[in-house]
Amino acid sequence: MVEIPEGITDEDELKRWEARKKEDEDIRRIFRLTNPTVPGFSQIVEMEFYANPVPELELILRMDHRGLWGGGGTQYSLSFPLVLEEAFVRYYTERAMFTVGRFKYELGPVGLLMGNQIAGKEGLIVNTMYKYTWITGVYNRLLMSMYKEYPYVSTYLLDELTACRFSRKFGDKLVGLNIILNGFYDEKALSLDLVGKISGHTIKGELGLVYPAWVYRENVDDRVWPGGVVFVNLIENEKQLFSMRLGAFSKGFIAQYGKRGMSTMESGIKFHPNTAGIDLLYQHGLNNDLVLGLNLVYLDYLDKKELEKLNRVPLRVFEVKLQKYLSEVSDISFSTAYIEDKNFNYGKAVVSWQFNF
């Protein structure tokens, strides 16, 4: 809820705060008029085509269709078109691998800087090795839609992205350096990641620095911002997995295509900019085809003075999920969750069925 700060003497500044408060009240009134218990039904149909005409050449095509009926937070409908997510060619030589076309990718095993792409991007990836170091170079053409609060319109921006990654194994550990040389609208970023075993526990983590795109610098200081996350599997065997994820992200750690704020139980990074906290996941195999999952997320804001008026960031999440495998290609699951964020507390229940062929 937007409250007007005390002690404002500038008349124009006071009017801006009054306008923000009125807009917030109007939007909250609309939310109250919307029945939060309306059931929703969604479907996702994904298709993949793979061809390997000669040993050194691969052709890959991925498409999906989505539909949503009833209550929900998106605008998908029965008429939502079939989307071409990825279409690329991969060519192998003795010293390198080239990927050309429209594709999705991640920089490193965590993906803080790059890994949360809603759709594929056109470009080129080159993977090679020099001595004992793996080297990856990325070039992308970017088309991004930016939505402004006022006058409530989308603006489409075109840009380019260049990035690289250097990684090397040290025993059973893999260490990587990720660099975004020139990202979305002058974004630049640098990170170090690690994956391996320490004292018998699988550990994965990434620490980074981000100089955000200029479209975000109007809300944060014009400087570099830190962030990081660490995963530790405290229990890991055939029947059980108990994983702890610790994270902290400053308010300016906004990597345009980085993983953050993911919502599913198994998602690794549920942290948002300007939050820090812990994410606990426990999974237990009750028998050969039935799995129980428990997820507890506890976050808090790092800078409470900089909260966005409608930034619905889940701060507390408790979720229970029961998943039954019907066959090698099909499973059904039921989950229920309680979610608390800055503006609203709510619960949800989801039944899903997945079939692969």
Secondary structure string (H, E, C) spanning the chain:
CCCCCCCCCCHHHHHHHHHHHHHHHHHHHHHHHCCCCCCEEEEEEEEEEEEEEECCEEEEEEEEEEEEEECCCCCCCCCCCCEEEEEEEEEECCCEEEEEEEECCCCCCCCCCECCCCCCEEEEEEEEEECCEEEEEEEEEEEEEEECCCCCCEEEEEEEEEEEEEEEEECCEEEEEEEEEECCCCCEEEEEEEEEEECCEEEEEEEEEEECCHHHHCCCCCCCEEEEEEEEEEEECCCEEEEEEEEEECCCCCCCECCCCCCCCCCCCCCCCCEEEEEEEEEEEEECCEEEEEEEEEEEECCHHHCCCCCCCEEEEEEEEEEEECCCCEEEEEEEEEEEECCCEEEEEEEEEEECC
Q: What is the mean pLDDT of residues 242-264?
A: 87
Local confidence band at 310 (pLDDT 50, 70, 90 cut-offs):
very low
Whether the pLDDT of residue 277 is over 80: the answer is yes
Query: Which residues, including other chains, have CB under 8 Å from residue 283's CB and lie 6 or more apart?
Result: 240, 241, 242, 291, 292, 293, 294
> At CA 110, angle to CA 48 and CA 306, rounded to 5?
115
Closest to 272 measured CA to CA, from 290, 295, 289, 250 = 250
- 40-54 and 330-341 as β-strands: parallel, antiparallel, unpaired? unpaired
Q: How far apart are CA 247 and CA 300, in angstroms?
A: 11
- pLDDT bin (cut points 50, 70, 90) of residue 342 is low
Query: pLDDT confidence of 33, banded at 50, 70, 90?
Result: very low
Please state, in angstroms and rounded to a whole number, the distance separating the CA atoms of residues 129 and 143.
31
Q: What is the CA radius of gyration of the chain?
A: 22
Among 229, 206, 200, which residue's Cα sits nearest to residue 109? Answer: 206
Distance CA 216, CA 193 (A): 25
79 has pLDDT over 60: no
Q: Which two tokens stand for residue 63?
A: 């498409």
Segment 282-289 shows an average pLDDT of 91
Give me the chain's average pLDDT, please. 83
pLDDT category of residue 152 using cuts at 50, 70 and 90: low
Q: pLDDT: is 60 or 341 the higher one?
A: 60
pLDDT at 235: 92
Q: 148 vs 36, 151, 207, CA distance in Å?
A: 26, 7, 30
pLDDT, tens digit (0-9, with 9 covering 90-100), for 164-205 = 999 999 988 999 999 999 988 889 999 999 999 988 899 999
What value does the mean pLDDT take over residues 25-54?
A: 70
Token duo for residue 52: 């390997």
Can you tell me the mean pLDDT for 249-260?
A: 88
In order of 140, 232, 348, 349, the CA distances from 38 in angstroms are 41, 38, 11, 12
Q: Cα–Cα distance between 235 and 281 in angstroms, integer?
A: 11
Supply 273's token pair: 């900019």
Under the banding of pLDDT at 50, 70 and 90, the label for residue 135 is very high
Q: What are the two backbone dihedrals, phi and then psi, of residue 219, each rounded to the nearest 5 degrees?
A: -105, -10
Phi, psi angles (nearest 5°) of residue 95: -115, -10
Q: Which of 35-39, 59-63, 114-118, 154-158 has the lowest mean pLDDT?
A: 35-39
